[in-house]
Amino acid sequence: MKTPPVLDLDAIIDDPHTRIIVCCGSGGVGKTTTAAALGLRAAERGRSAVVLTVDPARRLAQSMGLTELDNTPRLVVGVEGEGRLHAMMLDMKRTFDEIIEAHADPERARQILTNPFYQSLSSSFAGTQEYMAMEKLGQLRRSDDWDLIIVDTPPSRSALDFLDAPERLGRFLDGRLIRLLMAPAKAGGRSAFKLLNAGFGIVAGALTKLLGAQVLKDLQTFVSALDAVFGGFRARADQTYRLLQAPGTAFLVVASPERDAIREASYFVERLAEERMPLAGLVVNRVHRSPAAVLSGARSTAAAEDLEARGEHELTSAVLRLHADRMQLAAREQREQEHFISAHPTVPVARVPAMSQDVHDLEGLREVGDLLAAQ
């Protein structure tokens, strides 16, 4: 098979121009662990790093010696060397509240924060998490308290959501439809607006039928309050989007050597190229290898059959079967990766072998970091 370029992660984290690393990929491929391990490694190589995660796994917090992660960056104790590492977990409601509080006078802020629509929007709107993750990323970047920010992306139903969601939420809060809802009366007069106004009757009618009149009313109140505070939701989304395109950003697509994850990684790589986002490379986690790869699976199976037929060396034949299984698995994983490599031959790849144990402490994270760098 073709050999892809090697992904040199140390070069990326050591480069002072790298200011943001985004770890993306489908769910369950080890994005968060990768992000945390890279953060620790960067800190131990002298960077002042912060890891922003959206994964509420307690285990991860504990592996960094923190009882839990919250919306404030916490210093990780036990980092060796000159650098430092902070870790935090995105609290999307808290982040949203803070934006409101920062931009509204107390009375208006109260109006917004107590609106039932706001409460739903801020805690369960599909896309709010993605939007707030990007917002938080922007905040951390502007604060300039860290020279490297490592963020993992929300466990969206599809990894691609996170690129679209900020746009979508921004468009929603900023859009013409919302304005229409807010002030149908204002839309009279000119002909284009007449059409919209006629449309509004149908829209409002349909929405009232579907959701009930109260929802529409709550929504209108909410939107007018929010709009008066800052109309630039979309502008903010665009700003974060540009931040991601900037040269100081590195996207890492994370996958496991499984068909779905690899397929998703391919989509993501293509999408990042379309959006002109700077892709650093692909990290394939949980790759199975064998320390005894000189012995092929086929030979191993044949030998096991031979021993079994002779009724000798029961233990050896069991070990040979185990080894054959392992080689078969490794071969399949290799094939899955080849799909990616043939389609994207220029994308650098780093492979991390499957570990027999989960990560529980800084030592474990350090080990993952070593494996990431040792390509």
Task: Show contacts with other proteins in window 173-192 (CB under 8 A).
Answer: 175, 177
Q: Is 117 in the site for other proteins (CB under 8 A)?
A: yes
Question: For residues 33-62, which are near other proteins according to CB under 8 A?
Answer: 57, 59
Q: Is 81 in the site for other proteins (CB under 8 A)?
A: no
- Select from 42-50, 140-148, 186-194, 329-337 the region that touches other proteins (CB under 8 A): 329-337
- Least gap, CB of 190 to other proteins (angstroms): 18
- Figure out which of the listed residues 64, 252, 261, 362 binds other proteins, where binding follows CB under 8 A: 261
- Figure out which of the listed residues 14, 97, 227, 325 binds other proteins, where binding follows CB under 8 A: 325
Q: Is 323 in the site for other proteins (CB under 8 A)?
A: yes
Comparison of 48 and 334: residue with beta carbon closer to other proteins: 334
- Least gap, CB of 261 to other proteins (angstroms): 7
Q: Is 168 in the site for other proteins (CB under 8 A)?
A: yes
Q: Which of 371, 348, 340 has its CA nearest to residue 270?
A: 340
Q: Is 318 in the site for other proteins (CB under 8 A)?
A: yes
Q: Is 121 in the site for other proteins (CB under 8 A)?
A: yes
Q: Is 358 in the site for other proteins (CB under 8 A)?
A: yes
Comparison of 12 and 66: residue with beta carbon closer to other proteins: 66
